[in-house]
Amino acid sequence: MGVKKKSGKGRKRLLAGVDIGGTKLHVIVARADGTVLSRARSKLKGETAFVPVMKRVVACLEKACAGADVRLRDLGAVGVGAPSAVRADGVAVNAPNMGWRNVPVARKLASLTRRPVVVGNDCDVGTLGEYVFGAGRGSESLVGLFVGTGLGGGIVHHGQLISGENHLAAELGHMIVSVDGRECGGGHRGCLEAYASKSGMGRRFQREKARVKRSLLAREDVDLANVRSGVLSRAYRAGDELVREVVDEAARYLGVGVANVITCLGPDTIVLGGGVIEALGKEMLPTVRAAAKVHVFPPPSFRDTRIVLARLGDDAVALGAVAYALQVVKPGKR
């Protein structure tokens, strides 16, 4: 390994994956087989305007490339996952966490990097990442459910993402499971996210302030509307009654969502991921599976779907963006 940067055809197959989140960027450089060679991160600290974020992405890309000993211009392609509905041309239609509407992510990044850029919704590409490189390896069709502040989803059918003709679909967190039920953060009533997400759990904590005061949450510095996953998992493991009740309720509703996915789409694998699952997946999984078994139809269909935890952790979206870039750009064949 010399100090001189490598270039030429042998290096063309390195790719970058970018995960644009509401609070941070996470960039990787990886081989086409999913091996991550380097990572770079950057906190956004509330600076989410479109052009500055794009410049931060490029700076992160440069840093990750340096870590992998490759020049940005020698990357085969750059894949991006963004917290937005994304059109096929790489325009982010609506990213409420970023304050973006109809911003040309692919075009802007391609012009800044001179590389082919492919952009998808973060949960969509995260699901593709698990399908290609993670817990879904070897499956034919896969649905991902990512539980964090909200609940996002992704659908991969025989290798292809299904995101709807409007590129707004696979909003699995917003399927109605309880007509006229609880409201979610987006003002939508009775949807899965209103129960099975940190914001959903948060609304229940806010309604039960008296119980919160007697719970282990009272000992921590928490924002009741959005209790951190780590705090939830500590309290859960310590046996806190309220936290157990609320987390178990979330797991039960997640199981209803899983049942609906099996009933309607019958994938061979369902992957559960996101911050809440990373912190509490092992504790929640038995309840999720039991609830799915109760609510799926017909019962025999259940046995054919594996319900598993995500494997790619923080890299899921960035690795999924790499997988998406490989699928769309086919940089190895250029």
- Interacting residues of 284 by C-beta distance below 8 A, sequence separation 6+: 247, 248, 250, 251, 254, 272, 276, 277
* Closest distance of CB 319 from its own copies, Å: 24
Among 42, 94, 97, 226, binds its own copies (CB under 8 A): 94
Query: Within 234-263, which residues bind its own copies (CB under 8 A)?
Result: 253, 256, 259-260, 262-263
CA–CA gap between residue 289 and residue 285 (Å, rounded): 6
Does 276 sit near its own copies (CB under 8 A)?
A: no
Using CB under 8 A, pick the residue from 183, 208, 268, 314 that binds its own copies: 268
Among 191, 251, 276, 285, the residue binding its own copies under the rule CB under 8 A is 191
Q: How far is the CB of 320 from its own copies (least distance, A)?
A: 19
What are the residues whose beta carbons fall under 8 Å from the beta carbon of 122, sequence distance 6 or more?
19, 20, 21, 81, 82, 83, 84, 152, 317
Please choose, out of 48-56, 224-232, 270-278, 290-298, the segment that lies near its own copies by the rule CB under 8 A: 290-298
Tokens for 29?
């450089």
Query: Which token pair is 108?
Result: 């802007």
Which DSSP letter does residue 73 get? Answer: G
Min dist CB 75 to its own copies, Å, is 30
d(CA 130, CA 309) in angstroms, rounded, equals 10
Residue with tokens 């850029």: 117
Give the C-alpha separation, 227 to 221, whole Å. Answer: 9
* Closest among 279, 304, 277 to 288, alpha carbons compared: 277
The burial of 107, by beta-carbon neighbours within 10 Å (0-12 exposed, 13-18 middle, 19 or more buried), is given as middle
Shortest Å distance, C-beta 62 to its own copies? 35
Q: Which lies closer to its own copies via its Cβ, residue 67 or residue 186?
A: 186
Nearer to its own copies, 27 or 177 (CB): 177
Q: Is 276 in contact with 148 (CB distance < 8 Å)? A: yes
- 58: helix, strand or coil: helix
CB of 288 to its own copies, least distance (A): 14
157 touches its own copies by CB under 8 A? yes
Site string for its own copies, 160-179 (x = CB under 8 A): --xxxxxxxxxxx-xxxxxx
What are the CA-CA distances from residue 26 to residues 40, 160, 291 (Å)?
6, 24, 34
As measured in angstroms, the least distance from the Cβ of 187 to its own copies is 9
Residue 2 or 298: the one with the smaller Cβ distance to its own copies is: 298
> 51: part of which helix (H) or strand (E)?
helix 50-68
Between helix 50-68 and helix 105-113 the angle, nearest 10°, is 50
Near its own copies by CB under 8 A: residue from 120, 202, 267, 281: 267
Binding flag, residue 141, its own copies (CB under 8 A)? yes
Contact with its own copies (CB under 8 A) among 35, 51, 114, 140: 140
What is the size of the binding site for its own copies (CB under 8 A)? Answer: 48
Q: Which is nearer to its own copies, 48 or 141 (CB)?
A: 141
The residues of the shown chain that bind its own copies, judged by CB under 8 A, are 85, 94, 140-141, 153, 155, 157, 162-172, 174-179, 181, 186, 188-191, 253, 256, 259-260, 262-268, 295, 297-298, 300-301, 304-305
